Structure 1
Amino acid sequence: MSQKQLHSIEELDEFVAKNGKKLLFKHSTICPISTSAYEEFQTYLQDNQVESAVILVREDRPVSNAVADRFSIKHESPQIFLLEDGEVKWHTSHWKITKDAISQALNV
């Protein structure tokens, strides 16, 4: 399953509207903590088929801000969201983003 990079509010709307469980990752390409969390995210995706998307927070700031506004969840980076039926079912950030944490969230 391919991972999409979201560059616009329209792409975000389209991704959120899709049925089923999906992961949304907010990534800062200049932050070592974000790089570590992104690697955990990628490791999870290698072994599991789940729809996913990434927002690069510096490059696509309006899209990143729209996530915080839409779901009323304070922006952090790195940050991951489990979405289902247009709602956030789980989210976490920083060092709490691990392959095991993602796996547990998806298997609840």
Structure 2
Amino acid sequence: MQWKNITDINQINDIKDQKGYSLIFKHSTRCSVSMMAKRRFEMDWEVIPEDTNLYFLDLISFRPISAQIAETFQVHHESPQILVIKDGDCILDASHGDISADEVASVISN
């Protein structure tokens, strides 16, 4: 599995318009907690169904995109944060130590 980097604000509408499941990982490159959450998630991400679109946002470099994600999917901004999007709606958001590949897989599999 591989991340698709979010670098353009228009990608948010593309994600919202997608059918099926997408996952957005919002990461702060300056935060050790964020690095640990990302590493832990990637160690376990083989449990995520392969047809899930995986998106990665470096929120330090792309703060306006991070704000747009929060507005579009009606979630409170946090970092690190993971959002699971299904057919345009956020069905799971978790942050910090609550980020879990197993939980994401469970939500997607139901």
Quote how far apart the aligned CAs of 1:69 are: 1.2
Question: What TM-score do you get using the length of structure 1 for normalisation?
Answer: 0.89
* DSSP 3-state at the match of 1:77: coil
Alignment gaps of 5+ in structure 2:
none
Quote how far apart the aligned CAs of 1:5 are: 0.6
* DSSP 3-state at the match of 1:7: coil
State the distance in 2 between where 1:61 and 1:33 align: 18
Q: CA RMSD in A?
A: 1.5
Match of 1:100 in 2: 102
Match of 2:87 in 1: 85
Tell me, yes or no, if the aligned pair for 1:81 and 1:90 is still in contact at 8 Å: yes
Tell me, yes or no, if the aligned pair for 1:9 and 1:66 is still in contact at 8 Å: yes
* DSSP 3-state at the match of 1:22: strand
Question: What TM-score do you get using the length of structure 2 for normalisation?
Answer: 0.87
Match of 2:31 in 1: 31
Tell me, yes or no, if the aligned pair for 2:19 and 2:86 is still in contact at 8 Å: yes
Quote how far apart the aligned CAs of 1:47 are: 4.7
State the distance in 2 between where 1:12 and 1:43 align: 26
Does the alignment pair 1:3 with 2:13? no
From 57, 60, 63, the equivalent of 2:59 is 57
Alignment gaps of 5+ in structure 1:
none
Tell me, yes or no, if the aligned pair for 1:44 and 1:103 is still in contact at 8 Å: no
Q: Deviations over 1:34-89 (max 9, x none)?
A: 11111133234345412110111110001000011112211000000110110001
Does the alignment pair 1:66 with 2:72? no
- Number of residue-to-residue matches in the alignment: 108
Tell me, yes or no, if the aligned pair for 2:47 and 2:105 is still in contact at 8 Å: no
State the distance in 1 between where 2:47 and 2:76 align: 30
Identity of aligned residues (%): 29
* DSSP 3-state at the match of 2:91: strand
